[in-house]
Amino acid sequence: MAKRLFLLHVGPDPVDLRAMTATLAHGDVAVPDVAADVLVHAGIEIRRSHKAAGLKRKQVEGSWAKVCRRARKAKADCFVSVPAFFDATSEQVALALDGLAGSKVVLVVTSGFDVEPPAAWLAEVRQDRVHVLPSHLSDEQLAAQVARIALMEEERRLDKRLAKVSGRRRQVDRGLAA
């Protein structure tokens, strides 16, 4: 079975996920069933900035794990936006990606050409799975771009599968001809 896509938007600007769900559905992309404050807490947890946010560690502990569990339960490709991840260090990026083991992570950055994409994320995510989009997209436009990215990834997966099946068919044909 193919790995599910986890399309992770790291900002730097926040987006309204609920306004994007209808457009994301065109690309068969779901949004995990978590409240917006859980996503905020997930960003705080991974960045370890709970004191600066005026929270106790136990208030944010497990938020990212909850997001990851809900994404797995969705049984579909998922889109999550955590703008707080934009300034994460390489250790924090590795911690965030650990929770996504078993998923194919696709990074979506809306820094455009105004701000340099985060180097820590670029170092950890494969280059062909990083998509930098213009910075001033509306939520609807971003959702359309994310759905397009999901469909491109699905096309790439199917092309690889087709090449594999074609190779097997050629081996069978050669065996029958011999």
pLDDT in tens, 44-77: 999 999 999 899 999 999 999 999 999 999 889 9
Find all residues with CB under 8 Å of 100, minimum gap 6, and list them.
Answer: 6, 8, 68
Domain 4-177 indexed as CATH 3.40.50: yes
Rounded CA separation 80/32 (Å): 7
* The pLDDT value given to residue 2: 66
- Is residue 178's pLDDT more than 90? no
* The pLDDT value given to residue 136: 86
Angle, vertex CA 23, rays to CA 18 and CA 29, nearest 5: 85
Q: From the CB of residue 126, how many other CB atoms can be counted at a distance below 10 Å?
A: 11
What phi, psi does 134 have (nearest 5°)? -60, 155
Question: Residue 16 belongs to what H/E stretch?
Answer: none
Q: Answer whether the bond into residue 12 is a cis peptide, omega within 30°.
A: yes
3-class secondary structure per residue, 94-140: HHHHHCCCCEEEEEEECCCCCCCCCHHHHHHCCHHHEEECCCCCCHH
In a 3-state reduction of DSSP, which class is residue 33?
coil
The rounded percent of the chain whose pLDDT value lies above 90 is 70
Out of 1-10, 43-52, 147-156, which region has the weakest mean confidence (pLDDT)? 1-10
Domain boundaries, given as residue ranges, for the chain: 4-177
Out of 25-29, 120-124, 157-161, 169-173, which region has the weakest mean confidence (pLDDT)? 169-173
* pTM score over 0.75: yes
Give, to the nearest 10 degrees, the angle between helix 63-73 and helix 36-47: 130
- The residue assigned the tokens 């998923």 is 103
- Is residue 112's pLDDT more than 80? no
Rounded CA separation 128/130 (Å): 6
- Is residue 1's pLDDT more than 60? no
> What is the rounded average pLDDT of the residues 147-160?
93
In a 3-state reduction of DSSP, which class is residue 11?
coil
pLDDT bracket for residue 7 (50, 70, 90): very high
In a 3-state reduction of DSSP, which class is residue 64?
helix
